[in-house]
Structure 1
Amino acid sequence: MGLVGNLMMEMEIKSPVEEFFHGWIDHATLFSKALPDGLHKSEVHEGDGKSPGSINSYSYVLKGDAALTTKARVEDIDEENKSLKFEVFDGHIGEIYSKFKAYVQIFAKDGKNFVKFTLEYEKLNEEIPEPINYMELAAKFNKGMDAHLVQAK
């Protein structure tokens, strides 16, 4: 196994593409609503939390772990392509990855709506596992946000 890698998942969603995309833009506000177990929290540190350059911190739980923290900077929001880019750093992720970027794209295909989530990472050493647990957290967030948006209608 190498130190550099990419993981990608694509999930069908029930929410309209535009609503889900704007849910991701406002993800800091929706974080605890999409993952409502009381352990998942987000706080804005710089900017408005929604625009490029904004930095948010997160408290979250991975399978079998205690509460962990990290920060993410919004790098880009592309309204036309319904995509977002985040650089994740500090906290738990900063301790084990020298590079950790998340890419999100929401799109329609064959009459259905989808979210594509990609992680691009570089581990600090070979012993660090692939970030499958972060893909599971992203899947849980996407499912929770989709359910929240559908229920809010």
Structure 2
Amino acid sequence: MGFKGKLIASMEIKCGGHLFHDFYQINAHHVSNISPDKVHHFNIHEGDQDLKVGSIIGWKYNHDGKVKVTKQLIEAVDDEKKLITWKVLEGDTLELYNSFAITASFEENWATWTLVYEKKTEDTPEPITLLSLMIDITRDLESHLHNN
């Protein structure tokens, strides 16, 4: 039996949430250009450039001072609520967690990241530094979207 958890962080953003939502659906491949110290590479394993439910994507990123990889399935997209959910299929995250899902909601002027996970052991740390990474990338994207 695993140990389930949920972490949520919300932050006010200067530009409309629709810009973030559209960015992650259409221009996710540009995250590595906007935040190169955090994200090194993005690729699409299955699906088209315009990401939809069922698309499988991959990221190479910096986390806790190490280069890591993840492969994710886009599980849900709600254009009205500006919400996207990714389920981790493979990668470094699953070394510590039995399951891991990330939901991003970009309603109005708020970005909310929700991590839902099941730790492999009770001693496995909460993924607070991973949530912090998401917040830092959101700040980078906000700066890019607000200035363009």
Q: Normalising by the residue count of structure 1, what TM-score does the alignment of the two structures yield? A: 0.88
Give matches, 1:103-142, under 5 Å.
103-108=103-108, 113-142=109-138
- Asked if structure 1 preserves the Cα contact closer than 8 Å seen for 2:88 and 2:101, the reply is yes
1:21 maps to a residue whose letter is H
Give matches, 1:37-116, under 5 Å.
37=37, 40-48=40-48, 50-64=51-65, 66-108=66-108, 113-116=109-112
Deviation at 1:76, TM superposition (A): 1.0
- Deviation digits for residues 79-130 of structure 1 (CA, Å, limit 9, x no counterpart): 111111110131101211111011111112xxxx111110000011122110
- Asked if structure 1 preserves the Cα contact closer than 8 Å seen for 2:101 and 2:116, the reply is yes
Deviation at 1:28, TM superposition (A): 2.8
Task: Give the direction of change, closer, same or farther, for the CA distance of 1:38–1:4 in structure 2 (3 Å limit).
Answer: closer
How far apart in 1 are the matches of 2:86 and 2:131? 14
- Deviation digits for residues 14-71 of structure 1 (CA, Å, limit 9, x no counterpart): 122221211122353132033122752111111125111111111111122x211111
CA RMSD of aligned residues (A): 1.7
**1:107 alignment partner, SS class:** coil
How far apart in 2 are the matches of 1:117 and 1:62? 17
Which structure 2 segments of 5+ residues have no match? none
1:31 aligns with 2:23: no
2:84 maps to a residue whose letter is L
Q: How many residues align?
A: 146
Question: In the alignment, what sits opposite 1:146?
Answer: 142
**1:115 alignment partner, SS class:** strand
- Report sequence identity in percent: 32
- Asked if structure 2 preserves the Cα contact closer than 8 Å seen for 1:3 and 1:122, the reply is yes
Which structure 1 segments of 5+ residues have no match? none
Task: Give the direction of change, closer, same or farther, for the CA distance of 1:48–1:92 in structure 2 (3 Å limit).
Answer: same
